[in-house]
Amino acid sequence: MTDWTLFESNARVWCAEMEAATGREGAGLDAVPDTVLAGLAGLGFDAVWLMGAWQPSARSRAIALSHEGLRGEYDRALPGWQPGDVLGSPYAVSAYEPAEVLGGGEGLARFRRRLADHGLGLVLDFVPNHTAVDHPWVRERPSLYVAADDAARRSQAQNVFQAGSDGPWIAHGRDPYFDGWTDTAQIDYRSAAARQAVTEALLSVAGLCDGVRCDMAMLALADVFDRTWAGFPPPSDPATGEFWPHAVAEVRAAHPGFRFLAEAYWGLGPRLAELGFDAVYDKDLYDALRGQDAGRASRLVGDDASRLATGVRFLENHDEARAASAFARGHQAAAVAALTLPGVRLLHMGQLEGARVKLPVQLGRRQPEPVDEGARALYGALLPVLDRQALRRGGWARLWAETAWEGDSGAANLLAWVWRSDGDVVLAVSNPSPHRSAGRVRLAGFGFGRSVSPAPPRPIASLPVCAYARALEP
């Protein structure tokens, strides 16, 4: 999986647009033509992540409709939106059942088979930290959740809710830096029964797809969880150790080759990789590239290919601003730097066309946008490079740019590396800084017979930021 190129689709929006385009109202995933799937495969994608594939929560939708902050986001993203456009958060899961609007379980199974016919895998979301407040467990198995005693109810009233008119008080799902998500209920990872229930849910999901993207996966780490919920009473059936190694092992025993991606922040990605994840979000590199901090980006990349191979690299996803807006300056350089490294390469629906409007995940419709021809040209040139033999099956090595001439320090802004396979060499050079820069890259020993140096400094936007060539005789 560490060489996958992954396409993230907003499943509910994608299907609605495909239904409209094909005239197949209500067809769900069946409305996605085989020509579209063949096109994704032809661009070099290896799998499709259907973000938002699960049956939506009625309670989450009601909260999303009334939430003033969210209504402001809807106004900005979709002027003139209607209540029917609000579907609720796909991360408040009321049941791991494929959404009826997508065709239900049978529709998802057909879609997975069609993907496989084109050599594409299927990735679905798994939300380990919490469920929707109207998940059956809240009513039938409330002991699986973090309980709120009188002290917690007084000190964190905004983060708790009562399950029914006379039911127990339960905490909303949250991370330690923000108040809770009011459409969610927090699973208690200190409980052995809760861990087993989550593992069983994960096993059921694994039977429907080829991999999962685990939402906020670091929140289930034992020390993170204990710090977050220290003020709440512990469960009666304490669990020990970490949750993830056991869960990952159980799934892989039942589904060999199943793949795990982790959404992870706060520098905790490497820990999750050690605990069994194939690949984890590289948010640090994203932040460095967005900030045009070439020095930090260089340090984060380093020269360890095996460490880099566990990263998920992206310029946008459903949580981040659109790349065409966030990287309005330096889009080319950031794309080359992020997407030519070892690891999983993640591209988001609309990114290849240069979409600029970030859509709240609660909405099921987006406004049309004109195609950005610059973005189309960028990805039209870059995606074939990502599909070359050198990046697919070759070895990666970091190159270090040297000063182009005495007294010039611009080489420190250049990121460079080479991929090499039998008969194929790909050289990637990027300047993610906002400054004009030049440097010399030595290629002897990598299939090139001489060093390659750039022309005198010009604005980086006018310099090629990615180059590739077949191997040359030394």
Question: What pLDDT is attached to residue 449?
Answer: 54
Considering only the top CATH level, what class is 5-145+176-393? alpha beta
How many Å apart are CA 276 and CA 292, to the nearest integer? 32
Per-residue burial over 45-69, b = 16 or more CB atoms within 10 Å of its CB, e = otherwise: bbbbbbbbbbbbbebbbebbbebee
In angstroms, what CA-CA distances link 425 with 191, 382, 391, 422? Answer: 51, 15, 9, 8
**3-class DSSP assignment, residue 16:** helix
Strand, coil or helix: what is 442?
coil
* The pLDDT of residue 447: 61
25 Cβ contact list (under 8 Å, min separation 6)? 19
User: Phi and psi of 44, rounded to 5°?
Assistant: 100, 5
Q: How far apart are CA 212 and CA 185, in angstroms?
A: 21
Assign 210 to helix, strand or coil.
Answer: coil
Q: Under DSSP, is residue 161 helix (H, G, I), strand (E, B) or coil?
A: strand
DSSP H helices, 53-149, are: 58-66, 68-77, 104-117, 136-140
The domain ranges of the chain are: 5-145+176-393, 395-469
| 468 closest CA partner among 420, 398, 412 | 420
Checking DSSP bridges between strand 424-430 and strand 311-313, what pairing results, if any? unpaired
* Sign of the CA dihedral running 45, 47, 51, 56: positive
- The alpha helices in 207-318, defined as continuous H runs, are 222-228, 244-254, 269-274, 283-290, 294-301, 305-308
Q: Is 94 exposed, middle or buried (0-12, 13-18, 19+ CB in 10 A)?
A: buried
How far is the C-alpha of 191 from the C-alpha of 174, rounded, in Å?
A: 17
Q: What is the pLDDT of residue 2?
A: 54
pLDDT at residue 423, as a whole number: 81
**One digit per residue, pLDDT tens: the chain, 474 residues?**
458 999 999 999 999 999 999 999 999 999 999 999 999 999 999 999 999 999 989 999 999 999 999 999 999 999 999 999 999 999 999 999 999 999 999 999 999 999 999 999 999 999 999 999 999 999 999 999 999 999 999 999 999 999 988 999 999 999 999 999 999 999 999 999 999 999 999 999 999 999 999 999 999 999 999 999 999 999 999 999 999 999 999 999 999 999 999 999 999 999 999 999 999 999 999 999 999 999 999 999 999 999 999 999 999 999 999 999 999 889 999 999 999 999 999 999 999 999 999 999 999 999 999 999 999 999 999 999 999 999 999 999 999 999 988 888 889 999 999 999 988 889 999 999 999 898 888 877 766 655 555 444 333 333 344 443 333 333
3-state secondary structure of 112: helix
H or E, element range at 17: helix 11-22
Name the DSSP letter for residue 363: B
Measured over all CA atoms, what is the biggest interatomic distance in the chain, rounded to whole angstroms?
A: 79
Among 278, 347, 345, residue whose Cα is nearest residue 306: 278
**Rounded CA gap, 122 and 14, in Å?**
15
What pLDDT does residue 195 have? Answer: 98
Distance from chain centroid for Cα 198: 21
Distance CA 247, CA 128 (A): 11
Quote the CA–CA distance of 442 and 450 in Å, as a whole number. Answer: 7
Cα Rg of the chain, angstroms:
24
Q: How many residues does the chain have?
A: 474
DSSP 8-state class, residue 318: T
pTM of the model: 0.94
Cβ distance 308 to 353 under 8 Å? no
How many other C-beta atoms are found inside a 10 Å radius of the C-beta of residue 149?
12
pLDDT of residue 434: 93
Mark out the alpha helices in 81-234 (DSSP H runs).
104-117, 136-140, 150-155, 192-206, 222-228
